[in-house]
Amino acid sequence: MLPYEVFRHPLKNGDFVTFGQRPEIQLKKVFQKHTNIVLDSYKSSGEMIADGLISKEDTNLCIVTADCIPLFIQGEQGVSMLHAGWRGLENNILQNKLLESIKPNFAFIGPSITAKNYEVTAEFLSYFPHSNSILKENNKYFFDLRIECINQLRNNFAGIVIEKTDVCTFDSPNLHSFRENRS
């Protein structure tokens, strides 16, 4: 294990790793603003505003999350790392043309908040009006970010294989949660 490593999942051509703090390895990263912007890591320099990176080369891609989904996508022509929160999914980050260019065929959904810990207001229904990702229980609404992500992956990339972890950022003391920590 690397220093600060709190989660690891083996993938076909490497590992998906979550760190509790910035690791001492060379990374390509972006300044995230809950957008639908995806950049080519080879052409990007410095920290640019985006919520995803693609690479057609062997490089470490980094996304910072605190309940949102860190989403790894592998394609026939490259890989991508996305910060997929409700705003990014509502703004169709998974329909980004640059993302489509890698011809996605596999996705891994990393640690994120689970529905039982993601209560939302009734007004939230307007963001995903035709989705099964909003659950109602005892007159309360809960958003299942993972279900929404899976639905959109399947709608945008026919035949994509999807794996996910059940690790919840809210419930895990080793992972940062915006809703749990309020920061």
Q: What average pLDDT does range 170-181 have in this prediction?
A: 84
- Provide the whole-model pTM: 0.92
Spatial separation of the C-alpha atoms in residues 179 and 47, rounded to whole Å: 26
- As a whole number of angstroms, the distance between CA 85 and CA 68 comes to 4
The pLDDT value recorded for residue 46 is 62
- The token duo for 37 is 């912007």
Q: Beta strand 140-143 with 119-120: parallel, antiparallel or unpaired? A: antiparallel
> What are the backbone angles phi and psi of residue 122, rounded to the nearest 5°?
-60, -30
Q: What is the model's pLDDT at position 182?
A: 64
The pLDDT, as a whole number, for residue 100 is 94
Q: What is the pLDDT of residue 86?
A: 97
Per-residue pLDDT at 4 exceeds 60: yes
What is the enclosing helix (H) or strand (E) of 163?
strand 161-164
